[in-house]
Amino acid sequence: MPRESVTVTTPDGRCPVTIATPEGWTDGPALIFFMDAGGIRPAVFEMTQRLADAGYLVLVPDLFYRYGPYGHFDPVEVMRSDFRAVLGPLMATTGNAKAAQDTTALLAYLDTRRDVVGCQVSAIGFCMGGGMAIIAAGTHSDRFAAVASFHGGNLATDASDSPHTVALLIKARLYIAAATNDDSYPPEMAGRLETALRGAGVSFEAETYPAAHGWMKPDFPLFDAAAAERGWRAMLALLDRELRQGSVPN
């Protein structure tokens, strides 16, 4: 399982980044993996390696770097306790606007790599990372070919850095995967996001899975294997269509 650790300097500090590639990697397209609130842990590496094995260089930034060192969380145990008390202090150190700032540094790092083909990349985000992936595509509109958000929360709120506010800037193809049971992304919020995307002429597909928030994460208590495989098929098809076949040469 090829994996590389690097540090990317941002305006706020030094962000640890893990890079996953397939066996025998020489060069190819890249994507950024925006983590969920559970942080960096074995399940994240499991998922990123699956993306890498599909033929991509996968950049996995630890978005909690502003907080400092933390242990690996077990989502099952965290959800049994007061998860806001456990994860809240870490989540408070990041957010959509800060993720957009981090993306500037991450893209600059990717530009230094001779094994990345094309100037366009893609982004995959889960839970809090779903909104971050969309914001990244709006902030760096010429750099993103495709974005997938899985059970992303708070995608259309009154916050100044709400993902729907960058709709007019997005050039990437979006895939928005919602859950039927998700208080962080209720139907009225989905409608607000989709209205903004349609009004901006964004190419997107939105689907609601018969699953609960977090269904894609293999270590989540609400993991749904069948729904997750459906999500993986949609994700990989999007990447193959928009990134591998449509990447712009350097």
Ranges of residues in the chain with a pLDDT under 50 are 247-250
Looking at residue 1, its pLDDT comes to 58
Whether residue 229 lies inside any domain: the answer is: yes
Looking at residue 75, its pLDDT comes to 85
State how far the Cα of 103 lies from the Cα of 44, in Å rounded to an integer.
19
| Pairing outcome for strands 204-212 and 121-126 | unpaired
Whether residue 249 lies inside any domain: the answer is: no
Whether residue 234 lies inside any domain: the answer is: yes
Domain count along the chain: 1
Whether residue 46 lies inside any domain: the answer is: yes
**Residue range(s) defining the domain that contains residue 38:** 3-244
pTM of this structure: 0.95
CATH of residue 98: 3.40.50.1820
